[in-house]
Amino acid sequence: MSTTSKVADTNGGTAARSGKPSKVGAAANWADERLGLAGLAKKNLRKVFPDHWSFMLGEIALWSFVVLLVTGVFLTFWFNPSMTEIEYQGSYAPLRGSYISEAFNSSLHISFDVRGGLLLRQMHHWAAHLFIGSMLIHMMRVFLTGAYRKPREINWVIGVLLLTLGTLEGFTGYSLPDDLLSGTGVRAADGFVKSIPVIGTYGSFLLFGDEFPGHSIIPRLYIIHVLLIPGLILGLIAAHMLLLVYHKHTQWPGPGRTEQNVVGFPMLPVYAAKAGGFFFIVFGATALMGGLMTINPIWMYGPYDPTKVTAGSQPDWYMGWPDGLLRIIPGWTEVSFWGVTLALPVFLTVILMPTLIITFLILYPFIDNWISGDKREHHLLQRPRDTPARTGLMAALVTFYVLALFAGGNDIIAIRLDLSINQITYFLRAAIFLGPILAFWITKRWCISLQRHAKEQALHGYETGIIERSPDGAYSERHLPLPDAKQALIVGRERDQLLELEPAVDKNGVERPHNRKERLRLALNRFWFADNLQPPTAAEIEAAHHHHDGHDGHELEAGAHDDDRDALVKGH
Amino acid sequence: MRFLNRSAGRLSRHRRGRFAGLAVLLVALLVTGGAYAALAPAGQAEQSQDNAELVEQGRELFLVGCSTCHGQNGEGVLDVNGNQLGPSLQGVGGAAVDFQVGTGRMPMVQPGQQNPRKSVAYSDDETAALAAFVQSLAPGPDVPDESDYDPSSIYELPEDERDAAINRGQQIFLTNCTACHNFNGRGGAMPRGGYAPTLRGVSDKHIYEAMLTGPSQMDVFSDGNIPPENKREVIAFLETLQEQPQQGGFSLGGLGPVGEGLYVWVVGIGGLVGFAVWIAAHTTRTKKGKETA
Ligand code: HEM
């Protein structure tokens, strides 16, 4: 309540008065008369945003994309995407006199001879990491709270596409400077394409226009990097934001929050100030990182040359997990027959797995919906503990991802932690299968026990730690009801529905064939929901209260404490 | 003078003898030979004398400190299971000893996957003696001269020649060494718990000897492979690498993208999520403050 009244207060006071028309006002008026923006703006500026830190994760992604656009445009002023060889004559002495490509030369030029160039290059690269990293955690938030449910499925799909495009964009960018590491990456990409059965070699020639490395890959990647993918990303971000405004923001269940309203701050001024402020924080963080922390020191890698390679040749971390799978897959998965060799280790890990996972993520809202059989719209979020199986699934995915990422850094882990690279590989081969299962099971159980705890508290109040002695000498601990907001989180959530198989014989006595799909759906539904605790019903709460009244009638005395009065009044 | 004249006369008296010519030759040889031995090449004799002493001193040290694993004549020792306690040192040369002992690797203390650098157990003189002893077993690359490995001659070249030399050093390093030692010379993993160590802080001489002798899993880069001149250029490049400023800021370990990924999650994402929590919490705090007030 305080939030809304506070905002309203700022509108109060003196009535608006028409003063001398200002220049800005006139310009705004001119624009409004032609574009009719005011009405649109007014509506949208009054849009309400709820307040929770996890709702700002997507914003980190948005702002780092803005940083990427700004710094990327700066880089295009000097970057020359050409593979023509020239002799380096710039300021970095150890490379002077080397024959290097124009692309590498111009990247060195940006780094050493353009004022602020290295800062901007490093900011661009750090922002790329932040962009993809924040998309990932934003997506985890959406997943864990069930924000992808109807009507927001499309926005979820857009999100997955953005993540995919962001990763590709990062990879193409990483390849542009044509240093030893990026060339090694392109070389690997060539291998990945070639590993696709039948069309692989054709694909490689199509991409490179020649036998690797050819002369066209960098110009092609450049156009993809500065035009094609940024354009797609921009369009998708716009669609993402429009849908966000159209659907309105989701919110946590709480007092006064329903499936029909949104409680929070209006876009202007509070939220805009916060969001705008956050842009500067993201920008500042990127600038600090770009200024202080070396990233991709291309002058040390030196120019790309197919005869050279360095220890610790890794892709950027967001491409790390397929690389990790490739590092641990046993070699016998490669098969040869009739004089044909299938590079299955590469194909399975780097082409097939990412495709499968992306497809799964895109389909997830629909799979989830099929399992739950839920046709309703949802604007209230679910607490992760209230969906134990789904939270467990995320834990399994994260475990898989992190283990695969470790595999991708196996050599660095080996030298840093004094381990044997072979033992790491053997361990991960088992862990990549067992770890996710274990993580699923532990998380699910953990959630259920949290649910049990929450239900206990909702019914009987929380433990105060105050031990009381009754006149007849019995000791008991005083329980007090939870604060309103917390109580609402627990009792306000929807109950899970268990699907039933329709009777084997319908009302006309005709046997209904139960197909496999239906049974699978039912089994999954049970697996997903059967172990969950359901929120207490009104009757249960009522019964619990009677129980308290009869048992310990001290609660009104407890009301003497200032802090508790409020809760008691509301709770009872 | 008289004496000379007299002997000259006597000589001339026998001149016609059959062996006169031979005798003259012999005497002349003896005289010159003796004089030479007495005066001019005193160093050589002393050196071989000294060397023999050094080898002897080395043998004694070797018998005490190394022979349990390498055998009394450096022939190598097998344990009862037929495993190698220490390989044969025949022909590894003084350079290998100077490297292994000078970096503290030998005497080995604990057999393991990798024999790490540790504090040096022998003085410079003792190391030289051990090297001399092993060099005496069979010919191999000997301890290099300072002129072989010292790159200062490169730094004295005119600027463009110096740049070219250091650039060649980088090219050789990138072609031959980075696969194991990483682009930055920071080291990398080898199979089964082994590793190629960091090259930071390794002395010029030891870098040179490492290339010359190829310790454990490292390849040997003989002089035919990388001539001394190019070896010096590699050393000069490695020195430049160490001395140049960190243009990009903190190097984050210089291990490439894995380190960068770690930092982006811990510092970048971690920090920004912290800010998000702070911003979101900020209003709740002011709200709370107002309510209680
Ligand atoms: C989704 C957004 C983007 C991502 C993830 C991304 C990522 C990257 C990465 C990782 C690099 C390698 C940087 C390095 O040299 O260390 C790079 C280079 C580059 N990017 Fe982007 N970028 C994005 C958007 C853009 C945009 C919008 C532009 C320009 C219109 C741009 C222009 C460039 C240029 C010119 C380079 C090469 C500069 C150089 O390496 O010196 N990027 N990008």
CATH number at residue A238: 1.20.810.10
Task: Give the position of tokens 């203390």.
Answer: B109
- Determine the pLDDT at residue B137: 82
DSSP per position, A542-561: HHHHHHHHHH-TTHHHHTTS
End-to-end CA distance of chain A: give it in Å, rounded.
20
Residue A367 lies in a domain: no
Region of poorest pLDDT, from A103-117, A438-452, A470-484: A470-484
- ipTM (interface predicted TM): 0.80
Is the shortest distance between the CB of A69 and ligand 1 below 6 Å? yes
Q: What is the mean pLDDT of residues B276-284?
A: 72
Whether residue B6 is predicted with pLDDT greater than 50 in this model: the reply is no
Q: What is the mean pLDDT of residues A183-192?
A: 92
Q: How many helices (H) and strands (E) does chain A have?
A: 24, 8
Residue A274 or residue A317, greater confidence: A317
Residue A466 lies in a domain: yes
Query: In angstroms, what separates the C-alpha of B215 from chain A's closest C-alpha?
Result: 18
Residue A410 lies in a domain: no
Region of poorest pLDDT, from A109-123, A250-264, A394-408, A553-567: A553-567
Residue B58 or residue A434, greater confidence: A434
- Chain A residues whose beta carbon lies within 8 Å of the beta carbon of residue B241: 94, 300
- Determine the pLDDT at residue A291: 93
Q: Do B256 and A93 touch (CB under 8 A)?
A: no
Tell me, letter by letter, the H, E, C secondary structure of B150-206.
CCHHHHCCCHHHHHHHHHHHHHHHHHHCHHHHCCCCCCEECCCCCEECCCCCCCHHH
Calculate how far, in angstroms, residue A203's C-alpha sits from the geometric centre of ligand 1: 24
Nearest to A105 by CA among A177, A173, A174, A172: A177
Residue A399 or residue A312, greater confidence: A399
Q: How confident is the model at residue A405 (pLDDT cuts 50, 70, 90)?
A: very high
A56 touches chain B (CB under 8 A): yes
pLDDT > 70: what percent of chain A? 84
Residue A514 or residue A344, greater confidence: A344
Residues A464 and A315 in one domain: no
A304 burial via Cβ count (<10 Å: 0-12, 13-18, 19+): buried
Residue A14 lies in a domain: no
Q: Do B256 and A320 touch (CB under 8 A)?
A: no
Whether residue A7 is predicted with pLDDT greater than 70 in this model: the reply is no
- Determine the pLDDT at residue B32: 60
Q: Which amino acid is at B64?
A: V
Residue A361 lies in a domain: no
Is the shortest distance between the CB of A131 and ligand 1 below 6 Å? yes
Q: How confident is the model at residue B162 (pLDDT cuts 50, 70, 90)?
A: confident
Which residue in chain A has the smallest CA separation from B173?
A308
A132 CA closest ligand 1 atom index: 5
Residue B233 or residue B85, greater confidence: B233
- Determine the pLDDT at residue B4: 42
Residue A411 lies in a domain: no
Q: Do A317 and B196 touch (CB under 8 A)?
A: no
The residue out of A280, A297, A320 marking a domain boundary is A320
Q: Domain range for residue A140?
A: 48-320
Q: What is the mean pLDDT of residues A257-269?
A: 65
Total domains present in chain A:
2
Residues 6+ away with beta carbon under 8 Å from A511: A504, A505
Mind listing the pLDDT tens digit for each residue in A542-572? 777 776 554 444 444 433 344 443 443 344 3
Segment holding A48, helix H or strand E: strand A48-49
Query: In angstroms, what separates the C-alpha of A170 from chain B's closest C-alpha?
Result: 13
Nearest to A411 by CA among B214, B257, B103, B76: B257
Nearest residue, CB atoms, A51 vs list B170, B268, B283: B283
Q: What is the mean pLDDT of residues A407-414?
A: 90
- Chain A residues whose beta carbon lies within 8 Å of the beta carbon of residue B269: 60, 130, 133-134, 137
The residue out of A299, A320, A341 marking a domain boundary is A320
Residue A243 backbone class (left: φ over 0; alpha: ψ -120 to 50; beta: rest): alpha
Residue A372 lies in a domain: no
- Chain A residues whose beta carbon lies within 8 Å of the beta carbon of residue B181: 311
Q: Do A95 and B167 touch (CB under 8 A)?
A: yes
Q: Give the 3-state secondary structure of residue A323.
A: helix
- Determine the pLDDT at residue A51: 72
The residue out of A278, A296, A320 marking a domain boundary is A320
When the pLDDT of each residue in chain A is averaged and rounded to a whole number, the result is 84
Is the shortest distance between the CB of A72 and ligand 1 below 6 Å? yes
Residue A12 lies in a domain: no
Whether residue A36 is predicted with pLDDT greater than 90 in this model: the reply is no
pTM of the model: 0.81
Question: What's the token pair of residue A91?
Answer: 């300021």
A137 touches chain B (CB under 8 A): yes
Q: Which domains does chain B have, with CATH numbers?
A: 1-143 (1.10.760), 144-244 (1.10.760)
Return the bridge partners of A463, or none.
Answer: A479
